[in-house]
């Protein structure tokens, strides 16, 4: 299996090179040259597979021989070493809880898979790889946790000072070892712009092998399709599910669409967005325009220009009608998100985080118009990561899980940095 750049101005590469490079030299995203078709028996007998076996079978064609089978089996087993329960909220709607990993959000799977692949590819290499990543909250913790102690890999995380929640900040500033947190006096957009400049700076590229750890990287993007398979293992209805995905950069839903194209049964997809709705707008009008990001209470989805949208277009060969028939877009305001959190807790005794609440609203509305169908949301973060909003809406304190509790005793270590590329360059050159 080879990967090509969506900008079509760079040579094809293996999974290994795509992972190490992150992005193609022509700034394009890498895309698999063909989408594997699953054995019919795999779907028919899906409940009889252990989740490690299933994960191995799904990922095997994508790594294209660059990782030995027994190593890949070990990597996927470690990656998914926690639960992915499909929990019933009410008669029509269930919640696929993706927050049972070490940093309490769904990004753990991608970060754990990528870190292990990169660690494997860095063995016996004289050059260290430096992973440079900007975070608005959840990515930082998942990447720090996933890469902690991985030999041959240094991780530098930029986060906006004062704009991440306490749990999120502790997750990315208390690791030590090969993980460095840069606390930037600025916004998430500043952090992201600094990282982008670094990838284009000749001096830095001459000094170090830089790669990214956001969903642009195929090793972070591709394993996310496993959620959809694990959900289908637990799906007991005759008809396939309608699946609502809270979306920001569109990596998660795009991996679900990949699973669907490979043969996983899905009735319909819902791209659930907050006010940052460039893709729902496209689904409504057929016209795509990036927007300026606005801040919302579901902040992991505050993305004005979703990087994986081009992968969705590629997957369906730019056929707007095909995409529109399969995917519905929703724009959900903060006011409605809050209201849904309160109502679902009152009616069904289920606590949604703001991202899950956006998806719930969209799915519930869709199922009102398709009352013979059923579905589930992807609950992408534990409510405790957003305690202020959630506790206000459910009018009670949230129990704090042990992994979050343990963080509060630890000491924060961060390096303060001014916003702007100069400060980042000076820091990286002096490392």
Ligand X SMILES: *Cc1c(COP(=O)(O)O)cnc(C)c1O
Binding site for ligand X (CB under 6 A): 105, 107, 138, 215, 246-252, 300-301, 355, 380-381
The distance of closest approach from Cβ of residue 355 to ligand X in the complex, given in angstroms and rounded to an integer, is 4
> Closer CB to ligand X, residue 204 or residue 377?
377
The distance of closest approach from Cβ of residue 79 to ligand X in the complex, given in angstroms and rounded to an integer, is 17
> Closer CB to ligand X, residue 29 or residue 417?
29
The distance of closest approach from Cβ of residue 338 to ligand X in the complex, given in angstroms and rounded to an integer, is 16
> Closer CB to ligand X, residue 121 or residue 139?
139
In sequence order, what are the residues at sequence separation of 6 or more whose Cβ sits closer than 8 angstroms to the Cβ of residue 222?
59, 62, 113, 255, 258
Q: Can you read off the two tokens belonging to residue 273?
A: 């967005």
SS3 state of residue 269:
strand
In sequence order, what are the residues at sequence separation of 6 or more whose Cβ sits closer than 8 angstroms to the Cβ of residue 231?
84, 86, 96, 241, 243, 376
CA distance 4 to 11: 7
Phi-psi region of 169 (alpha: psi -120 to 50; beta: other; left: phi over 0): alpha
> Closer CB to ligand X, residue 138 or residue 183?
138
> Closer CB to ligand X, residue 133 or residue 208?
133
The distance of closest approach from Cβ of residue 252 to ligand X in the complex, given in angstroms and rounded to an integer, is 3
> Closer CB to ligand X, residue 72 or residue 105?
105
Distance separating the N- and C-terminal Cα atoms of the chain: 36
Yes or no: say if 79 and 55 are a contact pair by the CB < 8 Å rule. Answer: yes
SS3 state of residue 68:
coil
Phi, psi of 268 (to 5 degrees): -165, 150
> Closer CB to ligand X, residue 160 or residue 246?
246
SS3 state of residue 126:
coil
Own/partner pairs for 346-351, CB < 8 Å, 24+ apart? 347/90, 348/89, 348/90, 350/87, 350/89, 350/95, 351/383, 351/390, 351/394, 351/398
The distance of closest approach from Cβ of residue 158 to ligand X in the complex, given in angstroms and rounded to an integer, is 16
Helix and strand element counts for the chain (H, E) = 20, 13
The distance of closest approach from Cβ of residue 106 to ligand X in the complex, given in angstroms and rounded to an integer, is 6
Residue 399 is classified by DSSP as: P
The distance of closest approach from Cβ of residue 206 to ligand X in the complex, given in angstroms and rounded to an integer, is 31
> Closer CB to ligand X, residue 115 or residue 215?
215
Instruction: Give whole-number Cα distances, 368 to 14, 96, 280, 302, in Å.
Output: 45, 20, 19, 27
SS3 state of residue 413:
coil
> Closer CB to ligand X, residue 144 or residue 208?
144
When computed from its CA atoms, the radius of gyration of the chain, rounded to whole angstroms, is 20
């Amino acid at each position: 299996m080879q990967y090509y750049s969506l900008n079509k101005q760079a040579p094809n590469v293996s999974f290994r090179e795509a992972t190490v490079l992150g992005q193609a030299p022509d700034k394009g995203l890498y895309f698999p040259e063909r989408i594997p078709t699953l054995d019919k028996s795999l779907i028919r007998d899906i409940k009889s597979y252990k989740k490690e076996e299933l994960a191995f079978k799904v990922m095997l064609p994508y790594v294209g021989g660059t990782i030995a089978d027994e190593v890949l089996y070990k990597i996927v087993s470690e990656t998914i070493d926690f639960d992915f329960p499909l929990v019933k909220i009410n008669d029509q709607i269930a919640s696929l809880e993706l927050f049972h990993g070490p940093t309490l959000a769904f990004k753990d799977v991608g970060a754990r898979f990528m870190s292990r692949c990169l660690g494997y590819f860095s063995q016996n290499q004289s050059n260290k790889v430096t992973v440079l990543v900007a975070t608005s909250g959840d990515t930082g913790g998942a990447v720090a946790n996933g890469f902690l102690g991985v030999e041959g890999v240094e991780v530098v995380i930029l986060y906006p000072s004062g704009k991440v929640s306490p749990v999120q900040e502790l997750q990315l500033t208390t690791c030590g070892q090969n993980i460095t947190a840069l606390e930037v006096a600025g916004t998430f957009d500043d952090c992201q712009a600094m990282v982008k400049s670094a990838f284009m700076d000749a001096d830095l590229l001459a000094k170090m092998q830089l790669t990214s750890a956001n969903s642009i990287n195929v090793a972070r993007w591709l394993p996310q399709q496993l959620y959809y398979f694990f959900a289908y293992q637990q799906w007991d209805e005759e008809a396939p599910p309608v699946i609502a995905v809270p979306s920001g950069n569109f990596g998660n839903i795009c991996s679900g669409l990949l699973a669907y194209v490979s043969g996983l049964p899905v009735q319909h997809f819902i791209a659930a967005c907050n006010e940052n709705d460039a893709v729902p707008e496209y689904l409504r009008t057929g016209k795509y325009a990036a927007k300026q990001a606005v801040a919302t209470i579901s902040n992991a989805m505050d993305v004005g220009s979703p990087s994986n949208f081009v992968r969705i277009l590629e997957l369906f060969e730019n056929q707007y009608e095909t995409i529109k028939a399969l995917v519905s877009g929703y724009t959900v305001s903060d006011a409605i998100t809050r209201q849904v959190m309160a109502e679902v807790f009152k009616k069904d005794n289920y606590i949604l985080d703001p991202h899950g609440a956006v998806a719930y609203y969209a799915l519930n509305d869709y199922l009102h118009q398709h009352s013979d169908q059923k579905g589930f949301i992807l609950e992408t973060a534990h409510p405790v990561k957003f305690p202020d909003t959630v506790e206000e809406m459910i009018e009670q304190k949230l129990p704090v899980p042990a992994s979050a509790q343990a963080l509060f005793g630890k000491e924060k270590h961060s390096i303060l940095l001014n916003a702007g590329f100069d400060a980042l360059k000076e820091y990286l050159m002096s490392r």
